[in-house]
Structure 1
Amino acid sequence: MRDQEPPAGAAERRLSTRETAELLGVKPETVYAYVSRGQLSSRRGPGSRGSTFDAEEVETLARRNRRDGGGPDAGGELSVRTRITLIDKDRYYFRGVDATELAARHSYEEVAEWLWTGRLRPGASFAAPRASVEAARRAVDALPEHAGPTDRLRVAAIASAAADPLRFDLSEEAVLGTARVLIPTLVAALPPVLRSRRDQGPLAQRLWTRLTGRAPDDASLHVLDTALGLLADHDLAASTLAVRVAASARAHAYAAVSAGLGVLEGPLHGGAGALAHRLILEVLDRGAAGPVIADELREGRRIPGLGHRLYPGEDPRARVLFGLLDQMPGAAPALAAARDIAATAARHSPLHANVDLALGVFTASCAMPSSASETVFAVARTAGWIAHALEEYGERPLRMRPSGRYVGPQPPQPLPTPEQSE
């Protein structure tokens, strides 16, 4: 771990490792666990072999531990300071601005710029150079037909990186340039379903042609664009944490996004909308949610599209999308199915509809495959991943290095024999 240097001329009170451990109420080795996790910074004095610690920083950590009920081994969740997204009760905010209002009034590109820079760029538009798109398309076209959307997006991100000799420039200006190229490249690399003369216009319009062969109407495009904005970030979701770990190791932006895509593919994260989509279609096919819910519960499966651990009440993203879906042509049957699902499941557990159920209504109503919600989620969240990567590049490198709590056989153990290995 690289020791931290104090600002020139700064006057600060330093504590030894022993004094720091006593103040925190932990063992000396635990002090260095705090350092490895980025919760404390250390410094060695000239000619000294021992580390010293800023007293004010140590006292702040001690107060936080007393408030939160423990130190690094207390089982608490990893906490990362961020200025990007705040989730508070049943609302969430992008840089202090209500995210639902921002997404409802501004395009996805404008929401992304706000997340990245804290400045609104009216009319913001993303365009990808031909070389980047061609490299990504060649890589995606080489995949087998059964490849999923996240497979394609991850390969497209890697191919785009290989085509960018400046990808290791982690300055803010360079990373922003990468972001404005990478997102449209990811969309352009997906195989089109609806043929369009020009691959231009708002990102939502370009993405639509990759999701369905049905011609878009203004209401449907507005739902898609709003969904992209609503899903652009959601604090430290699992995929976003992976992005920050990669950025902490100074992986370039393409690699950080690829890390996020790898985590997103799980059914408990980006794949949840597909499960909701299929549930809605089954309810429509069988005419009522009752027997479908009964089958799900009989099989011991969780009902997709309901509840969210961060929102004890209504998911604000779902609230906005359901309001727009009410105005979208052709959405009424899927909407009725979704409401039947929520009402029927409420007899078993009082859970509100979440954004996955709203996405399922949208994709089912627009003749999209069940995997379409995963594509929407991944493209949308790329903006947030870039915002978190930018923020992490401004932190100390490799600060996100937790220590494992070893629970295996105590050493020294004898070398294994072939019989022990069988």
Structure 2
Amino acid sequence: MRDQDPASGRPGRRLSTKETAELLGVKPETVYAYVSRGQLSSRREPGGRGSTFDAEEVAALARRNRREGGASPGAGGELSVRTRITLIDKDRYFFRGVDATELAARHSYEEVAEWLWTGRMRPGITFTAPEPTVAVARRAVGALPEHTSPTDRLRVAAIAAAAEDPLRFDLSEEAVLSTARVLIPTLVAALPPQPFAHLTDGPLAHRLWGRLTGREADEDTLRVLDTALALLADHDLAASTLAVRVAASARAHAYAAVSAGLGVIEGPLHGAASGLAHRLLLDVLDQGTAAPVIADELRAGRRIPGLGHRLYTGEDPRARVLFDLLEQVPRAEPALLAARDIVATTARHAPLHANVDLALAVFTVATGMPATAGETVFAVARTAGWIAHALEEYGERPLRMRPSGHYVGPRPPQPMPE
């Protein structure tokens, strides 16, 4: 049904469904999804059992897919999106080609955020929000029940800030960057301050500290918090980031895109994982050893939080940086020893390494923060990456994040239900 080269695009050439799928690098079902969307036309040959496709049209679609870098729905069963923001490779990760751990060690969270957004470094930059925006966000958050989770507070703050901004639908790069520089400090300012909090200005990490704990801060602990924010700013297409890109693909404004990300991170397998590790650490400290705590977790059928990462075969590089910094914080020693005990005890049967959730838990336990503090740090930090991905997605064709469903239900027509 074809001559030697299906990609030659010579007029009149017809390809089978299988040949078309091979050329496009998708499953055969996806070929028909392209037809249903009007991206391909098909024709049944007289006496043939299947549809055929014009080789020239197929070759043009293949070139367009490669050029746009969009996902090939069904290709390898996964969604693949070209990005210039973060690369994860061989137990290291990079922000725009620069080692992310080195960036976090040398630059503040705000500086790293600017690098993610623009590819330019702006030494000394700090993010501030206008008082009217902060006031609206605080009022909205203040109306929530006392037991409301930090992520819910952040989501409400983002919605309130959006309602205050009549220019939120301007998706130009300059406007989105302006939104980002206001939204992140608004999220922090909208969180209720802890009793006796004494840091109310300065870099974002300083302001966030007073929302996480009322304890006195010192240079070492503030450095850990600022570095954690920078390390967590992005991590490729994590579940929340994918949600942000889907929203941006539909041309939702930046506040709405960030809200989509906040809606995803509440899951225990994403942003809330550090809270589970925090409670595990407290149990180990209370028992004096990890063995009985790990045994109870496994007996209950629960996975051990804070261990292992699907993208790293060795230790999570973010955890390694934070553990090194926590070594310089004397009050962190008990929690550090408990974390090492957890890793060593589990390694007897499963050689899993510590991940960033365990490192965050050591920090929150050592500084007297609540178990939810790690989730707050994660959400605030990741907002920078979400904005970077939204900006990148606004530059792509709209609504490209539309994978095809693979229907496996009863074949129609079915009788009407009684």
Structure 1 residue 291, shift from structure 2 partner:
0.5
Alignment of 1:18-417 (within 5 A): 18-19=14-15, 22-25=19-22, 30-31=30-31, 33=33, 53=57, 55=59, 58=62, 72-73=73-74, 75-195=76-196, 199-417=200-418
Check conservation: 2:114, 2:121, Cα contact below 8 A: yes
Can you list the C-alpha shifts for 1:71-112, whole angstroms capped at 9, x where unaligned?
A: 744652110000000000100000000000000100000000
Q: Which residue does 1:3 correspond to in 2?
A: none
> Using a 3 Å threshold, how does the CA distance of structure 1 residues 57 and 51 change in structure 2: closer, same or farther?
closer
Q: Distance in 1 between matches of 2:239 and 2:308?
A: 17
Check conservation: 1:249, 1:398, Cα contact below 8 A: yes
> Using a 3 Å threshold, how does the CA distance of structure 1 residues 18 and 163 change in structure 2: closer, same or farther?
farther
Check conservation: 2:289, 2:341, Cα contact below 8 A: yes
Matched position secondary structure for 1:93:
strand
Q: Distance in 1 between matches of 2:231 and 2:11?
A: 46
Structure 1 residue 20, shift from structure 2 partner:
8.8
Structure 1 residue 381, shift from structure 2 partner:
0.1
Matched position secondary structure for 1:357:
helix
Q: Which stretch shifts more, 226-235 or 190-199?
A: 190-199
Runs (5+) with no aligned partner, structure 2: 1-7, 42-53, 67-71
> Using a 3 Å threshold, how does the CA distance of structure 1 residues 196 and 281 change in structure 2: closer, same or farther?
closer
Q: Distance in 2 between matches of 1:197 and 1:305?
A: 31
Identity of aligned residues (%): 76
Check conservation: 1:315, 1:352, Cα contact below 8 A: yes
Structure 1 residue 416, shift from structure 2 partner:
1.2
> Using a 3 Å threshold, how does the CA distance of structure 1 residues 288 and 113 change in structure 2: closer, same or farther?
same
Q: Distance in 2 between matches of 1:252 and 1:286?
A: 49
Q: Which residue does 2:48 correspond to in 1?
A: none
Runs (5+) with no aligned partner, structure 1: 1-11, 44-49, 63-70, 418-422
Q: Distance in 2 between matches of 1:392 and 1:19?
A: 33
Matched position secondary structure for 1:86:
strand
Structure 1 residue 196, shift from structure 2 partner:
5.1
Q: Distance in 1 between matches of 2:219 and 2:28?
A: 63
Q: Distance in 2 between matches of 1:288 and 1:29?
A: 54
> Using a 3 Å threshold, how does the CA distance of structure 1 residues 198 and 360 change in structure 2: closer, same or farther?
closer
Check conservation: 1:14, 1:53, Cα contact below 8 A: no
Check conservation: 2:198, 2:216, Cα contact below 8 A: no
Matched position secondary structure for 2:234:
coil
Q: Which amino acid aligns with 2:104?
A: A
Q: Distance in 2 between matches of 1:249 and 1:16?
A: 36
Q: Distance in 2 between matches of 1:33 and 1:209?
A: 52
Q: Distance in 2 between matches of 1:27 and 1:338?
A: 45
Q: Distance in 2 between matches of 1:120 and 1:56?
A: 40
Structure 1 residue 197, shift from structure 2 partner:
6.6
Matched position secondary structure for 2:280:
helix
Check conservation: 1:219, 1:328, Cα contact below 8 A: yes
Check conservation: 1:41, 1:54, Cα contact below 8 A: no
Q: Distance in 2 between matches of 1:36 and 1:248?
A: 20
Q: Distance in 2 between matches of 1:322 and 1:160?
A: 35
> Using a 3 Å threshold, how does the CA distance of structure 1 residues 293 and 29 change in structure 2: closer, same or farther?
closer
Matched position secondary structure for 2:396:
coil
Q: Distance in 2 between matches of 1:255 and 1:36?
A: 29
Check conservation: 1:219, 1:327, Cα contact below 8 A: yes
- Aligned-residue RMSD, C-alpha: 2.6
Q: Distance in 2 between matches of 1:36 and 1:176?
A: 37
Can you list the C-alpha shifts for 1:354-413, whole angstroms capped at 9, x where unaligned?
A: 000000000000000000000000000000000000000000000001111111111111
Q: Distance in 1 between matches of 2:404 and 2:383?
A: 29
Q: Distance in 2 between matches of 1:193 and 1:407?
A: 52
Q: Which residue does 1:9 correspond to in 2?
A: none
Aligned residues: 390
Q: Which amino acid aligns with 2:59?
A: A
Matched position secondary structure for 2:331:
coil
Q: Distance in 1 between matches of 2:14 and 2:382?
A: 44
> Using a 3 Å threshold, how does the CA distance of structure 1 residues 117 and 341 change in structure 2: closer, same or farther?
same
Q: Which amino acid aligns with 2:416?
A: L
Structure 1 residue 30, shift from structure 2 partner:
3.1
Matched position secondary structure for 1:353:
coil
> Using a 3 Å threshold, how does the CA distance of structure 1 residues 18 and 363 change in structure 2: closer, same or farther?
farther
Check conservation: 1:36, 1:403, Cα contact below 8 A: no
Q: Distance in 2 between matches of 1:139 and 1:413?
A: 49
Structure 1 residue 314, shift from structure 2 partner:
1.0
> Using a 3 Å threshold, how does the CA distance of structure 1 residues 217 and 16 change in structure 2: closer, same or farther?
farther
Check conservation: 1:321, 1:358, Cα contact below 8 A: yes
Can you list the C-alpha shifts for 1:248-291, whole angstroms capped at 9, x where unaligned?
A: 00000000000000000000000000000001010000100011
Check conservation: 1:273, 1:305, Cα contact below 8 A: yes
Structure 1 residue 24, shift from structure 2 partner:
3.5
TM-score by length of 1: 0.87
